[in-house]
Amino acid sequence: MKVDLGIWNKLTKLVICLLLVAGAIAVCVWYLPVIQQNEHMRTELQRLDAQIKQERDTGKRLTGSIAALHHDPKTIERLAREKLGYARTGEVVIHFEEAASTNSPAGFPR
């Protein structure tokens, strides 16, 4: 035997559906900050990974420079020539200085 409840049956189904939708929205609102924090942390992790890679490359370059200074006399000689202005016997060292900047065109005094 089937009893027709009329509008109450439809209203009950509508209320249940609305409760399910409200529950889904509540879950989304509840987890939204966690999702945003996760995204922020992933971005930070990528930035830190890039920084680690850059620091490793710098470390390799510096380790190579240190090894060259310890084991290659030509490197020491080149650095002494560049930084200290040393020269071999019979060589002449010429130092170039940058000209003072002026606002007037070249060749025209103020």
Tell me: the pLDDT tens digits for 76-91?
888 888 888 788 888 8
Exposed, middle or buried, 48 (CB in 10 Å: 0-12/13-18/19+)? exposed
3-state secondary structure of 2: coil
Domain boundaries, the chain: 7-63
**pLDDT for res 93:** 77
Nearest to 67 by CA among 78, 75, 55, 58: 75
Report the alpha-carbon distance of residue 75 to residue 68 in Å, rounded.
6
High-pLDDT (> 90) share of the chain, %: 49
Residue 72 pLDDT more than 80?
A: yes
Of 81, 28, 58, nearest in space to 66 by CA: 58
Q: Work out the pLDDT band at 53, boundaries 50, 70, 90.
A: very high
Q: Tell me the pLDDT band of 8, cut-offs 50, 70 and 90.
A: confident
